[in-house]
């Protein structure tokens, strides 16, 4: 550890938009760093130049910002250290820890089949591992394609790594493979650059999914051979789709972009995510409480399932609990005439922002009615509304919901739903919603009168 300070990082490949698996990794690393008063770095693993793009980098940063997961310092780029990665590879090769492998894909496929037929795991057989260096070099010089492999597998020895969620993680080297470090087109796989950059960036803790456990063993081995201290790992359980399969579009795995476009409030995603695999997270909807309550040792090593409905329930709760002013921009995107009073009136009736559209008649007396609302109005009939308007207009100063409806009930003989629903429909446009007393106060004398008149016009036309 550098001065005992915790340093974590989020290291996405900028080859697509931020997805929910990324959000979980970023959030956990961010929570731990913030709680420990440490640093949280952002590093783009952009060595795959053909698939990486600045557009995705910008999008990822925007999405992290939107979530409130701010990083420290300038974002790093793996590609900036290409020369260092290359030097490290040479060093491993010189020490006999990395070697060129010339086996063709076809040969490897045959090896895998043979292993499978014998009930053995599909590991590299080690054919090229003991090629004499001068032979390997001359074959490479002649243009024969090759990959670089890490010489990890051995008849004896162990690799141990420190994982905060597991007592001791120990791999027998005889169980390991010789993974590819550099592909035949010269591109590094993630193993070496990722581990070396962590060491050079002073990363103290790596929180990531347990699908990386074996990768960590290779990385620890490599770091030791390169003379670096490996980080402490926290391999948490994976995030799965609602059906227990890999998270995908079909199982509710959308990108953050899509959720933003659907109007989701960021804290709903953060809250839903922070609770997964972490018992007893409080249900306060604010980042500071989450930071305080985060306990890294309680993170579950079992897989967790993503439930988009739960996230949307947090979203609804946020809508209900937020100050109207903070919701106004999202409502105005859908209803430009909306003001804070309108939001205050309807917010308790919203699950999603687009639900506000149901109440557009509160803002515009001429807003058309849905078919269901129109059926209610037709059934009440123009006569009902005529009586209602004349009672309303009788004494503008005394026009309030209670007096109005009790007089209207008296004259028409209607009560309950038969009396109130046609009024609700005429004033709000919706079949359910805020309390009518509040609706009438919000609309005021003229607002009520205008809506009653327009509904009569519609029924008479
Ligand atoms: N770029 C790697 C990934 O997105 C980083 C993995 C890690 O967190 O070490 O999977």
Written as six digits, the tokens of 450 are 């205008």
Pick one of 1.20.58.100, 3.40.50.620, 3.40.605.10, 3.30.1360.100 as the CATH number of 1-73+195-321. Answer: 3.40.50.620
Cα of 12 vs centre of ligand 1, distance in Å, is: 6
Please list, in sequence order, all residues whose beta carbon lies within 8 angstroms of the beta carbon of residue 87, skipping any fewer than 6 positions away: none
Helix axis angle for 266-275 and 308-321, nearest 10°, is 130
3-state secondary structure of 297: helix
Phi, psi of 207, rounded to the nearest 5 degrees: -100, 120
The first and second tokens of residue 48, run together, are 């795959």
* Architecture of the structural domain at 324-460: Orthogonal Bundle (1.10)
Helix (H) or strand (E) holding 8: strand 7-10
On the question of a common fold for 82-182 and 324-460, the answer reads no
- Atom index in ligand 1 nearest the CA of residue 194 equals 9
pLDDT tens-digit series, residues 241-276: 988 888 876 766 789 999 999 999 999 999 999 999
With the CA atoms of 303, 308, 314 and 316 taken in that order, what torsion angle do they form, in degrees rounded to the nearest 10?
-170
- Residue 403 confidence (pLDDT): 93
Q: Indicate the helix (H) or strand (E) that contains 208.
A: strand 205-209
In sequence order, the 6+-apart residues with CB closer than 8 A to the CB of 327 are 319, 343, 347, 353
Question: Can you read off the two tokens belonging to residue 412?
Answer: 């028409």
91 C-alpha vs ligand 1 centroid, how far in Å? 24
Q: What confidence tens digit (pLDDT) does each residue in 136-180 have?
A: 999 999 999 999 999 999 999 999 999 999 978 999 999 999 999
Pick the residue whose CA is nearest to atom 4 on ligand 1. Answer: 12
Q: Give tens-digit pLDDT for 362-401.
A: 999 999 999 999 999 999 999 999 999 999 999 888 789 9
Pocket test for ligand 1, best of 204, 212, 216 (most atoms within 8 A of CB): 212
User: How close is the Cα of 45 to the center of ligand 1, in Å?
Assistant: 8
Contacts of 411 (CB under 8 A, 6+ apart): 387, 391
Query: How far does residue 194's CA lie from ligand 1's centre (Å)?
Result: 7
What is the pLDDT confidence band of residue 285, given thresholds at 50, 70 and 90?
A: confident
Q: Where along the chain do its domains lie?
A: 1-73+195-321, 82-182, 324-460
Global pTM reads: 0.90
**pLDDT tier at 1, thresholds 50, 70, 90:** very low
Nearest atom in ligand 1 to 22's CA: 4
Asked: is 82-182 a CATH 1.20.1250.20 domain? The reply is no
Q: Which residue has the tokens 């004896």?
A: 156
Q: What are the tokens at 334? A: 């859908």
Closest ligand 1 atom to 45 CA: 1
């Amino acid at each position: 550890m550098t001065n005992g300070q915790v340093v974590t990082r989020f290291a996405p490949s900028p080859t697509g938009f931020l997805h929910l698996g990324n959000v979980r990794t970023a959030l956990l690393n961010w929570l731990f760093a913030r709680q420990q008063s440490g640093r949280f770095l952002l590093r783009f693993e952009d060595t795959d130049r053909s698939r990486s793009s600045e557009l995705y980098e910008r999008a990822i940063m925007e999405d992290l910002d939107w979530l409130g997961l701010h990083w420290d310092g300038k974002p790093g780029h793996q590609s900036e250290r290409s020369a260092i990665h290359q030097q490290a590879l040479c060093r491993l090769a010189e020490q006999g820890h990395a070697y060129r492998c010339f086996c063709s894909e076809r040969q490897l496929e045959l090896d895998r089949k043979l292993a499978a037929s014998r009930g053995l795991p599909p590991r590299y057989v080690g054919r090229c591992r003991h090629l004499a260096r001068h032979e390997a070099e001359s074959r490479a010089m002649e243009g024969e394609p090759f990959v670089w492999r890490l010489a990890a597998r051995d008849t004896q020895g162990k690799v141990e790594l420190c994982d905060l969620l597991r007592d001791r993680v120990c791999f027998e080297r005889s169980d390991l493979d010789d993974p590819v470090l550099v592909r035949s087109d010269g591109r590094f796989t993630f193993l070496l650059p990722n581990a070396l950059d962590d060491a050079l960036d002073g990363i103290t803790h790596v929180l990531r999914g347990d699908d990386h456990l074996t990768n960590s063993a290779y990385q620890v081995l490599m770091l030791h051979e390169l003379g670096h201290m490996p980080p402490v790992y926290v391999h948490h359980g994976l995030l799965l789709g609602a059906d227990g399969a890999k998270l995908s579009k079909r199982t509710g795995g959308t990108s953050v972009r899509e959720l933003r476009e659907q109007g989701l409030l960021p804290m709903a995603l953060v809250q839903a995510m922070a609770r997964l695999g972490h018992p007893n997270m409080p249900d306060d909807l604010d980042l500071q409480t989450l930071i305080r309550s985060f306990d890294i040792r309680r993170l579950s090593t079992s897989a967790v399932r993503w439930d988009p409905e739960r996230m949307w329930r947090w979203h609804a709760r946020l809508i209900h609990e937020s100050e109207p002013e903070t919701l106004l921009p999202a409502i105005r995107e859908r209803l430009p005439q909306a003001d804070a009073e309108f939001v205050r009136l309807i917010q308790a009736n919203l699950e999603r922002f687009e639900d506000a559209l149901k109440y557009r008649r509160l803002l515009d007396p001429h807003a058309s009615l849905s078919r269901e609302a129109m059926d209610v109005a037709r059934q009440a009939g123009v006569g009902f509304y005529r009586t209602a308007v004349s009672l309303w207009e009788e004494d503008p100063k005394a026009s309030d919901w209670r007096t109005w409806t009790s007089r209207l009930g008296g004259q028409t003989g209607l009560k309950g739903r038969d009396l109130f629903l046609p009024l609700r429909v005429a004033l709000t446009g919706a079949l359910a919603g805020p309390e009518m007393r509040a609706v009438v106060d919000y609309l005021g004398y003229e607002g009520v009168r205008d809506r009653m008149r327009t509904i009569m016009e519609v029924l008479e036309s």
